[in-house]
A and B are shown apart, each in its own frame.
Chain A
């Protein structure tokens, strides 16, 4: 048992994560071709506009559709259907918590691939100042609120119906993910009404910004993702958890330096064992780069599944340097 545990704790997380992300990317973007259908309540950006290839549908699309029903219907019998959809979403989410962002989200995976491209080109990445980080971090909650309020306004006939799925209209996933199955039809401006024209134009601007932003900033879009905000509101009872033992932390700051989301609390917080913040994507890079035995750990239903160890840290840090130390 100890050997298995040591093997897991010493795993090459970068490689493991790359392979897992690739698997889920294929499953969610091309799964439809293999008759895979995981339903329409997935807590990740499995884009519903990817008609042919999708292996499931992002919950935000049906949620916006349902909230745009007339108030009489929504607050009547159809309300049960909305609750049912939310329940399925929550059940999916409780299994992996924000691991959906770090390991499964196709849009997150695309951002990681763009980051790899930047690294290979030797271009340095950008970081936010602490003030910028605090301010930008709030945008996702604003988007979440708008994503709920606008469809409700449509259902109450307060807003035009052609604004039906406002977040999908501006989500870069709508434009980018269908392209992987050869569908470029979302790269258009819809001139049929003024509202659709503005929303689709905004969508294309956000897509351009997404591609450039993801090149210079790791996980650029995840700071603004309303799905991430919705996740955080539900994250407490989830099974997968990130924990920190403050007594073992030396505040070396390695975890903060490797964090794609620049979460400072991961290094600074030593009192609260539940260390996961709203921007966390549960990539577990912080655990992999921590040299202190058991200071950081991921648990599933209370059982530690991956924790920081000195051996694991040394093994990962010396990877690729073995040949230098071998006797000639």
Chain B
């Protein structure tokens, strides 16, 4: 083995050790280091476009929510699976992406891609399976919009023991954005079946969190709160904020792995997403209707008076026939 390869291996191993086994892991689309530049906006979030092909960067973060989660500098053990828009799954390897650990992959086809990290560890006699999922979207308006409907349905993976599936709304399309005041629903699947009574927590970008349990259909719902209060001149309607959802489930499964024996198994699934200011935050019906009614009334009244001004009272002119 070359000396440099050995050094990289040892560094990676040391960083893997620094990441505690019980840490919550989740994917993030937000670039960790601003000095590496910014990505281009697309309807599926930030992307890099190389020779017309969209490439997505996702970074792995450790911690409960966006406020305090760390980006990772070294490699992370576990399998990374990418299911593309056509439903084909392949294994990816992570690496240094713009200074932190993450993955980069091409998204040539329109639709949702599913990325899973499956990581297993045994700590204090308990086996922990962490399944970090991300569901990036590739959409360009240049591809048209006629093909969107069949591609909206979420994918389910048979290769992960537990996962969170974001539920679609009835009128959702590739341009739909989750806004403040909207309700986001998540289906928790365990071994491919809806899991009732699972504890699900949502963390928002500024640290607000809420925990609920899944209902009989395995669904947990959250209303997104407003947590963006800039001065008006700094307001951005496309201000993207990360949220992350955790779901956990513990079973009495016991056994032995390379890391040791365990008497119970804890599954921890995460799913990241983005939310934006609601249109209700910056659109006003009152002012719109006021202006419309003003223009309508003003024009109507102006035409009425214009017509009245042009009407001349009848003046009879009499001619004296004698003259």
Residues on A close to B: CB < 8 A? Answer: 37, 40, 51-52, 65-66, 77-78, 81, 126, 175, 184-185, 187-193, 200-201, 204-209, 211-213, 215-216
Taking a contact as CB atoms under 8 Å apart, the answer to whether A37 and B146 are in contact is yes
**Docked-complex contact A208 and B283, CB < 8 angstroms:** no
Task: Decide: A126 and B288 in contact? CB cutoff 8 A.
Answer: no
Given A191-B283, A201-B291, A208-B298, 4 new contacts (CB under 8 A): A192-B236, A200-B288, A204-B295, A215-B300
List CB contacts (< 8 Å) of B289-315 with chain A: 289, 291-300, 303, 307
**CB within 8 A of B293: which of A77, A184, A189, A208?**
A208
Q: State A213–B295 Cα separation when bound (angstroms).
A: 10
Q: Specify which of A78, A81, A191, A206 is in contact with B284 (CB 8 Å cutoff).
A: A191
Contacts A/B (CB < 8 Å), 22 sampled: A51-B171, A65-B141, A66-B142, A77-B52, A126-B303, A126-B307, A175-B292, A187-B288, A188-B283, A188-B287, A189-B287, A190-B283, A191-B283, A204-B291, A205-B295, A206-B295, A207-B295, A208-B291, A208-B295, A212-B295, A212-B299, A212-B303
User: Is the CB–CB distance between A187 and B142 below 8 Å?
Assistant: no
Closest Cβ–Cβ distance, residue A201 to chain B (whole Å): 6
Most buried by A among B145, B232, B279, B296: B296
Query: Please, how many angstroms separate the alpha-carbon atoms of A212 and B294 in the complex?
Result: 11
Chain B residues closer than 8 Å to A208, beta-carbon distance: 291-299
Q: How far is the CA of A66 from the CA of B285 in the complex (A)?
A: 29
**Given known A77-B52, A205-B295, contact A189–B284 (CB-CB < 8 A):** yes
Nearest Cβ on chain B to A273's Cβ, whole angstroms: 38
Q: Is the interface of A mostly helix, strand, loop or mixed?
A: helix
Q: Which residues of B contact A (CB under 8 A)?
A: 52, 141-142, 144-146, 171, 232, 235-237, 277, 279, 282-285, 287-289, 291-300, 303, 307
Query: Contact between A52 and B292 (Cβ–Cβ < 8 Å)?
Result: no
Task: For the complex formed, measure the closest distance between the CB of B48 and the CB atoms of chain A, giving whole angstroms.
Answer: 15
Chain A residues within 8 Å of B297, by CB: 208, 212
Determine if B296 and A192 form an interchain contact, defined as CB atoms under 8 angstroms apart. Answer: no
Which partner residue on chain B sits nearest A57 by CB separation?
A: B145
When the two chains form the complex, which single residue of B142, B287, B299 contacts A81, counting CB atoms closer than 8 Å? B142
Please provide the 9 A-B residue pairs with the shortest distance between their CB atoms, ordered closest to farther: A208-B295, A212-B299, A208-B296, A192-B237, A188-B283, A192-B282, A204-B291, A189-B287, A204-B292
Known contacts A190-B283, A192-B236, A192-B237; is-contact A207 B52 (Cβ 8 Å): no
Please measure, in the bound complex, the distance between the C-alpha atom of A188 and the C-alpha atom of B291, giving whole angstroms: 10
For chain B, what secondary structure do more than half of its interface residues adopt (helix, strand, loop), or is it mixed? Answer: helix
Q: Which residues of A are found within 8 Å of B307, using beta-carbon distances?
A: 126
Name the distance in Å between A189's Cβ and chain B's nearest Cβ: 4
Return chain B residues, CB-CB under 8 Å to A175: 292
Residues of chain B within 8 A (CB-CB) of A215 are: 300
CB distance from B309 to the nearest CB of A (A): 14
A209 x B284 contact (CB < 8 A): no
**Among B235, B283, B288, B297, residue most surrounded by chain A Cβ atoms (within 10 Å):** B288
| Chain B residue nearest in CB terms to A211 | B296
Nearest CB of chain B from residue A128's CB, rounded to whole Å? 13
The residues of A that contact B298 with a CB separation of less than 8 Å are: 208
Tell me which residues across on chain A come within 8 A of B235, comparing CB atoms. Answer: 192-193
Residues of B within 8 A of A204 (CB): 288-289, 291-292, 295
Residues A205 and B303 in contact in the complex (CB < 8 Å), given A77-B52, A188-B284, A191-B284: no
Q: Contacts A52-B171, A207-B295 known; A212 to B300 CB distance under 8 Å? A: yes
A51 to B149, CA, bound (A): 13
Chain B nearest Cβ from A108, distance in angstroms: 19
Contact between A40 and B296, CB atoms less than 8 A apart = no
A315 and B285 CA atoms in complex are apart in Å by 50
Q: Are B296 and A212 in contact (CB-based, < 8 A)?
A: yes
B165 → chain A, closest Cβ, in Å? 25
- A51–B287 alpha-carbon span in the complex (Å): 23
CA distance A77 to B52 in the complex (A): 9
Q: Which of chain A's residues has its CB closest to B144's CB? A: A40
CB <8 Å contact, B285 and A188 = yes
From A77, A185, A187, contact of B289 by CB (8 A): A187
Q: Which residue of B lies closest to A191 (CB)?
A: B282
Question: Given A192-B236, A192-B282, are A187 and B292 neighbors across the interface (CB < 8 Å)?
Answer: yes
For the complex, what is the distance from the CA of A189 to the CA of B307, rounded to whole Å? 32
List residues of chain B with CB within 8 A of the CB of A200: 288
* Minimum C-beta distance from A210 to chain B (A): 9
**Assembly CA distance A208 to B232 (angstroms):** 28
Q: How far is the CB of B293 from chain A (nearest CB, A)?
A: 7
Taking CB atoms, residues of chain A closer than 8 Å to B282 are 190-192
Residues of A within 8 A of B232 (CB): 191
The docked-state distance in angstroms from the alpha carbon of A207 to that of B144 is: 29
**Shortest CB–CB separation between residue A109 and chain B, in angstroms?**
20
B175 to chain A: closest residue by CB: A51
